Chain A
Amino acid sequence: MSRSIRTLSARARVTACTTVVALSALSLTACGAGAQGAGGGKVKVGLITKTDTNPFFVKMKEGAEDAAEKSGVELVSAAGKFDGDNAGQVTAVENMVASGVKGILITPNDSKAIVPALEKARAKGVLVIALDSPTDPQNATDALFATDNVKAGELIGRYAKAVMAGRPAKIAMLDLAPGVAVGVQRHDGFLKGFGIAEGDPAVVCAQDTGGDQAKGQTAMENCLQKAPGINVVYTINEPAALGAYTALKAKGLEKKVLVVSVDGGCTGTNAVKEGRIAATSQQYPLKMAAQGVQAVADFARTGKKASGYTDTGVTLVTDRPGTGVEAKDTTFGLRNCWG
């Protein structure tokens, strides 16, 4: 999606300057003006995402940038190098505290390992807010703005149950990774919505995909090898769902199998419109970031800290309604999608 041209060019200018100076050691004076952060007196807000390559976090950053502009604060951002990179996030927290941010918004790569770094930041009076997923323990941050992932799973579970209308289900579950909270919550929510317990014989296959399309495809291929009669596929996110669809299509099963997912990215929502995914639980990263930035701006103005958990909402998006589960169509979905 389109990024604000102005931000891009400003950043590109800074980077170009930095690169030129660093690499060829030209005169240092040329860049002085362009590299200075605008407005020395502005309140700074730090945003630390899991990675800076995942569209979900790119969108989150956009939301934060827009909100920062509206509230007249300055946004600095950083990210881990890969999904699960805790050390990179610790470094970013330290650097942001050193640069004098008023608050830090973070999507933790490792809910436990990040805690000591966040505690140090809070001890220095920085407001720390978790976005998208909580820390462990949750009170290691001042507040949490996130999707209720159990509810997200539950919605597609109830939807799948209604579509199956009593026919015996053979379910494949394409999960995230062991022990990652988001994945566990969606998984558990789906089972709850479908009305079965963990270990139910209806679940004929469960594989980890890391939320990756290629791994999703591999997992689905392996599940079809393992249990040919699969008719419901739960997926942790849309890339995994699209990988699963590719595997199903190769076997000529794409019309016979119900694929449900979570995320509501634009690519995924389009796939719902085209019928490759039956339904998805859409979440709203822009809202998470915007509310987080607002909370830091309020803290700077009034000294009042945000606290507790704020549910940023989730909506079932499908063009095959009539299941009794409250849903919106893909027109709504595409209007509100991210990525």
Chain B
Amino acid sequence: MTATATTPSPYAQLTGPTTVRRILTAPTTGPLAALVLACAFFSLTTEQFLTGGNFSLIVQQVMVVGTLAIGQTLIILTAGIDLSCGAVMAFGSIVIAKMAAQGTLSPLAAIGLGLLVCAGFGLVNGLLVQMVPLPPFIVTLGMLNVAFALTHIYSAEQTVTGLPAPLTALGETFPLGNTDITYGSLVTIALFLAFAYALSSTAWGRHVYALGNSPEAARLNGIRTSRLTVGIYALAGLVYGIAALLLISRTGVGDPQAGQTDNLDSITAVVLGGTSLFGGRGAVLGTFIGVLIVGVFRNGLQLMGVASIYQTLITGALVILAVTVDQISRKKAR
């Protein structure tokens, strides 16, 4: 994978001649169109799809992978990749669940420890990537196995039950009109909005894009690239910790088997959302659209009574389509 020197800056699209062109070249336009089309299709084919309750359900179903995908987006924007996110989340969730269920720590302290542990994994990933340096793919592949094994050792393969109330609070719902909204969904949406703001409107966000476009150029422009990279991995880890809490609140247990395919699912969401695997191009809100596309297809096909294997088929085809569109639009932008 070679990032070409002629990669457009993320602001290239902002200097286009017309608004129309700007909209057409924005990385989130394609995904958004796909999402709207999918929603239109399922609204026509199943009567249960177009209801507030169903949309609330979809957001609730994607909140865990969606939250993981926020961390994944940050890392992919730096042209890295994180294969360990699901396993780190699973370990965090077992730490939180076990500490609180045994009464070793108060529920809030257990949650705090879980967040710290996940951030610690991210920090180690970042240090290995930046300081040795090693390819992110290899580091996080190793960490995937480490975290997976620790999860199974620490849990002794037992699902942790009997969790105190604060751990599952985010899984509770509140009524909004005639729809039940899960608190956890709001946490995920708030995280997406916060990171969207940070990436688009702060110096830190600009530095992240600059680093993804060209680490060397970023360094020469006075950005502390080492510190920035390690920080991004650690921050991603912290976000996985939040995903761990959401996971517990959704299932009501600490499950050592959880998250085994979430690393690839989060990468899928990032790619579907128009973020480039070559770094420096994309948006966190695109990732939210990406994760919703997967959720809408799963839910819609289920409501239509289509077997789940076809959902996998369609998701795979969409990923290839998304990457193709990304490549073509990069060529056009040159």
Contacts and interface: CB of A to CB of B under 8 A. Distances in A.
B321 A18 contact: no
Contact of A78 (B171, B257, B302): B302
Interface string A76-88: 1111011011111
B302 A179 contact: no
Contacts of B64: 87
A100 B34 CA distance: 27
Interface residues of A, number: 48
Nearest to A114: B251
Interface in B297-333: 297-299, 301-310, 312-314, 317-318, 321
Interface in A100-140: 100, 109-113, 115-117
Interface residues of B: mostly helix, strand, loop or mixed?
helix
Given A37-B305, A113-B159, A116-B251, A25 B61 contact: no
Contact of B304 (A18, A77, A87): A18
Given A90-B250, A116-B252, A99 B302 contact: yes
A31 interface: yes
B196 interface: no
Interface in B158-176: 158-159, 161, 171
Interface string B256-274: 0111110000000000000
Given A98-B48, A179-B158, A19 B308 contact: no
A143 B207 CA distance: 58
A142 interface: no
B226 interface: no
B305 A90 contact: no
A159 B57 CA distance: 51
B308 A52 contact: yes
Interface string B39-63: 0110011101000011001001100
B317 A81 contact: no
Given A86-B258, A100-B48, A110 B305 contact: no
A92 interface: yes
A23 B44 contact: no
Contacts of B252: 113, 115-116
A87 B314 contact: no
B159 A110 contact: yes
A92 B250 contact: no
Contact of B41 (A22, A82, A117): A22
Max count, chain A CB within 10 A of own CB: residue among B37, B45, B253 = B45
Contacts of A4: none
A98 B54 contact: yes
A28 B304 CA distance: 15
Given A15-B310, A22-B297, A98 B57 contact: yes
Contacts of A179: 156-159
A98 B64 CA distance: 20
Given A22-B41, A28-B41, A84-B257, A94 B301 contact: no
A178 B257 CA distance: 12
Interface string B120-143: 000000000000000000000000
Interface residues of B, number: 52
Given A94-B57, A179-B157, A81 B261 contact: yes
Contacts of B46: 37, 99
B307 A37 contact: no
Interface in B227-264: 247, 250-253, 255, 257-261
A177 B157 contact: yes
Contacts of A117: 251
A94 B8 CA distance: 43
A22 B38 contact: yes
A25 B32 CA distance: 13
A91 interface: yes
B57 A95 contact: yes
24 contacts: A11-B307, A14-B305, A18-B301, A19-B310, A21-B41, A28-B40, A35-B45, A52-B307, A77-B307, A78-B308, A85-B260, A86-B251, A86-B258, A87-B250, A94-B60, A98-B53, A99-B305, A109-B257, A110-B257, A112-B255, A113-B252, A113-B258, A115-B252, A116-B251
Given A18-B314, A79-B308, 8 more contacts: A19-B314, A21-B37, A37-B304, A52-B308, A78-B308, A85-B257, A85-B260, A113-B258
